[in-house]
Chains A and B, each alone.
Chain A
Amino acid sequence: MQLTRQQQGLLDGDGGPACQWAMQFNHDLGNFFGAEQMVPVASAHFAPDTGMAGDPGKKLLAFLESHQARVVVPAYLDPCSVDIGRAAEWMATYGVSETFIAADRETQRHCRALGFRPTYTCINYQTIEAPKRGDHLAWGDTGAAIAANAMFGARTNFEGGPSALASALIGCTPAYGMHLPGNRRGNLSVRITCAPEEIADWGALAAIAGTLSVGYDTVLVFHGDFAPPSFDMLKQFAVALASYGGHAMFHLAGVTPEAATLEAAFGGTVPGEEHVVTRQDLDAVFERSTMADNSVDLVVFAAPQLSIDEVAEIVERLDGRRVHGDTKLILAIDPQVRSLADKAGLTERLAALGGEFSTGTCFYPEAPVLRETTGWRNLVTNSAKLVNTLASAGYDVAWRRLGVCLDAAVTGRLES
């Protein structure tokens, strides 16, 4: 790989041990993927993931802090593992250990010391700052990364914890994968005839299409006759494609920025062969998703965190109906949306109906722990990604459209 003099200097240790670690990491990674150079990044998005990172993650952060490392580009943090604002309750009610909460706090403290902004969001493109078309980024959360690529025309690979951290400290990342225009062009055609109308529909479409061809090199091009999705529908769609397909890019003809036309989306010739997703396919996704019995322990809206508009819609559509006494209604949001919800009176209205926010975190990272201590089993959601991430966590999950989810929250039963 060709390095600039400054990059070579960092690799040789001129910037100290922290920058040397970062440059060595990105250099080795670039070589594995055959990258020819580094590209400067406009921002970084880092998932420290206390639970998954364990001691090696903790040691890395402590090492970097001890060498006075600082981020050199705007750098945002992915959600925490727990809702720190409700730590006492998470310990008492949900059985999350004090040790783990202390570890998560320590992770966040390290990150702030390194200069990361305490955004605790997986939707930074919606609540912090939208990326600019053509910008190279080092974004960690796979949902945020695919959104940046497909919805905004920015360029990022899935940067896991260590590499997003490295890129934030040296301001550059190896040019492979989604940084290269040739890898961003469509290579599989999907015709939409299923008339997706809401978040659950777009998520189900992504789940079906994502599994047609799993892999980082698959770039689906969607086209056909459909009503333009809202931003939140597109957000769910993107996140679900990353989750089910491992995809980092897609095109929605006439909607996303690198797909003004079908030809543009494919970078030339449109393939003759196409997959078709019908309304029956879509309905079958929900029909197949059943629980052993129909009592509902939890209704969860998460993965990705909700926008203020989604929160408002849920509260409005509850329309004064109270959540059932044996059922929990949880909405995962970031601190930015929380602040808006507080000001808009939505926090108070949700609490009055028996629902709750999980703020600055998501639901699934601690889901296995929560299930063991609370005995929760039956969960209803409209989120495709949540369904997928809970597959290994021991829940019985019913995937439904929003109206059915809300009815389940109110009656404590899944009726359809």
Chain B
Amino acid sequence: MQSPTLSLTGGRGMGAPVRGPALVSGQGFGFRYDLDSTTGVISNRDHDLYGEELAGRVLVFTKPKGGMAASWALASLRDRGIAPLAIVFREASPIFAQGALFSGLPIMHMLEGDPCALIRTGDDVALYPTEGRIDIFR
């Protein structure tokens, strides 16, 4: 078995283990503010991930932004087959935790080490939410 290039530990999480390609931002994220919810593509021109699709990727953002939308939107994206695999924040907010819980998508935060700096877009990452660990393969 390939051993990870790097592991982030000490985090908190909910949901089942998942593995896939990372999409990493140096900014925050909010559904109403940054995303075209019909397509699942980031539509805020000021965002560093403008034009990127969320589907099938492990999202890594600094902090959550915005309001209520996130509590429903993850489930709706999942229902339409355009959801991310999981979402990682430096620190999550209640709304994103609620949205992840409702959708059944894994969420993690409070890791030792900055996920936005240590994970790179395109890295193959494995999340173990309830163990609070992320393995990075590159």
User: Do A246 and B32 touch across chains, with their CB atoms under 8 A apart?
Assistant: no
User: Do A246 and B63 touch across chains, with their CB atoms under 8 A apart?
Assistant: yes
Closest-CB distance, A174 to chain B (whole angstroms): 10
A364-B79 contact in complex given A32-B101, A162-B72, C-beta closer than 8 Å = no
User: Do B93 and A56 touch across chains, with their CB atoms under 8 A apart?
Assistant: no
Residues of chain B contacted by A142 (CB below 8 angstroms): 66-68, 95
User: Do A28 and B68 touch across chains, with their CB atoms under 8 A apart?
Assistant: no
Residues of chain A contacted by B72 (CB below 8 angstroms): 49, 52-54, 56-57, 160-162
CA gap between A217 and B90 in the complex, in Å:
12
User: Do B93 and A246 touch across chains, with their CB atoms under 8 A apart?
Assistant: yes
CA gap between A25 and B12 in the complex, in Å:
17
CA gap between A158 and B64 in the complex, in Å:
12
B122 at the A interface (CB under 8 A): no
> Which residues of chain A from 44 to 80 have a CB within 8 Å of any chain B CB?
47, 49, 51-57, 60, 78
User: Do A56 and B75 touch across chains, with their CB atoms under 8 A apart?
Assistant: yes
Residues of chain A contacted by B107 (CB below 8 angstroms): 32
User: Do B75 and A246 touch across chains, with their CB atoms under 8 A apart?
Assistant: no
The residue in chain A whose Cβ has the minimal distance to the Cβ of B99 is: A160
Interface residues on B, range: 35 or more
User: Do A140 and B33 touch across chains, with their CB atoms under 8 A apart?
Assistant: no
Which of B70, B94, B102 has most A Cβ within 10 Å? B94
Residues of chain B contacted by A28 (CB below 8 angstroms): 14, 101
B128 at the A interface (CB under 8 A): no
Contact with B along A135-159 (1 / 0, CB 8 A): 0000011110000000000000111
Closest-CB distance, A107 to chain B (whole angstroms): 11
User: Do A32 and B80 touch across chains, with their CB atoms under 8 A apart?
Assistant: no
Closest-CB distance, B65 to chain A (whole angstroms): 6
Q: Choose among A34, A60, A160 the residue that contacts B68 (Cβ–Cβ < 8 A).
A: A160
B18 at the A interface (CB under 8 A): no
CA gap between A339 and B101 in the complex, in Å:
39
A216 at the B interface (CB under 8 A): yes
CA gap between A25 and B44 in the complex, in Å:
32
User: Do A140 and B68 touch across chains, with their CB atoms under 8 A apart?
Assistant: yes
Closest-CB distance, A248 to chain B (whole angstroms): 8
> Which residues of chain B from 1 to 50 have a CB within 8 Å of any chain A CB?
12-14, 28, 30-37, 43-44, 46
The residue in chain A whose Cβ has the minimal distance to the Cβ of B96 is: A160
Residues of chain B contacted by A49 (CB below 8 angstroms): 68-69, 72
Closest-CB distance, B111 to chain A (whole angstroms): 14
Residues of chain B contacted by A159 (CB below 8 angstroms): 94, 98
> Which residues of chain A from 1 to 44 have a CB within 8 Å of any chain B CB?
25, 28-29, 32-34
User: Do A54 and B79 touch across chains, with their CB atoms under 8 A apart?
Assistant: yes
B97 at the A interface (CB under 8 A): yes
Residues of chain B contacted by A55 (CB below 8 angstroms): 76, 79
The residue in chain B whose Cβ has the minimal distance to the Cβ of A368 is: B36
Closest-CB distance, A41 to chain B (whole angstroms): 14
User: Do B35 and A78 touch across chains, with their CB atoms under 8 A apart?
Assistant: no
The residue in chain B whose Cβ has the minimal distance to the Cβ of A388 is: B33
Closest-CB distance, B35 to chain A (whole angstroms): 7
User: Do B34 and A392 touch across chains, with their CB atoms under 8 A apart?
Assistant: yes
**CB-based A-B contact count at 8 angstroms:** 136
Residues of chain B contacted by A217 (CB below 8 angstroms): 91
> Which residues of chain A from 349 to 369 have a CB within 8 Å of any chain B CB?
364, 368
A25-B32 contact in complex given A160-B71, A160-B94, A163-B71, C-beta closer than 8 Å = no
A243 at the B interface (CB under 8 A): yes
CA gap between A52 and B107 in the complex, in Å:
19
Residues of chain A contacted by B102 (CB below 8 angstroms): 25, 56, 60, 160-162
Contact with A along B77-106 (1 / 0, CB 8 A): 011100000000001011101110111000
User: Do A52 and B37 touch across chains, with their CB atoms under 8 A apart?
Assistant: yes
User: Do A246 and B64 touch across chains, with their CB atoms under 8 A apart?
Assistant: yes
User: Do B94 and A246 touch across chains, with their CB atoms under 8 A apart?
Assistant: no
The residue in chain A whose Cβ has the minimal distance to the Cβ of B74 is: A56
Residues of chain B contacted by A51 (CB below 8 angstroms): 37
A389 at the B interface (CB under 8 A): yes
B73 at the A interface (CB under 8 A): yes
Residues of chain A contacted by B33 (CB below 8 angstroms): 388-389, 391-392
CA gap between A361 and B67 in the complex, in Å:
16
Closest-CB distance, A395 to chain B (whole angstroms): 12
CA gap between A197 and B35 in the complex, in Å:
34
User: Do A158 and B95 touch across chains, with their CB atoms under 8 A apart?
Assistant: yes
CA gap between A243 and B75 in the complex, in Å:
22
CA gap between A394 and B33 in the complex, in Å:
11
A405 at the B interface (CB under 8 A): no
A214 at the B interface (CB under 8 A): yes
A141-B63 contact in complex given A54-B80, A57-B76, A389-B32, C-beta closer than 8 Å = no
Top 8 closest A-B pairs, CB basis?
A: A160-B71, A54-B76, A56-B75, A53-B72, A142-B67, A160-B98, A162-B102, A216-B93
**Complex A-B: 8 CB contacts under 8 Å:** A28-B14, A49-B69, A160-B99, A162-B72, A214-B62, A214-B65, A215-B91, A216-B93
- Given A54-B75, A159-B94, A162-B98, 6 extra CB contacts under 8 A: A32-B12, A52-B73, A56-B78, A160-B102, A161-B68, A246-B65
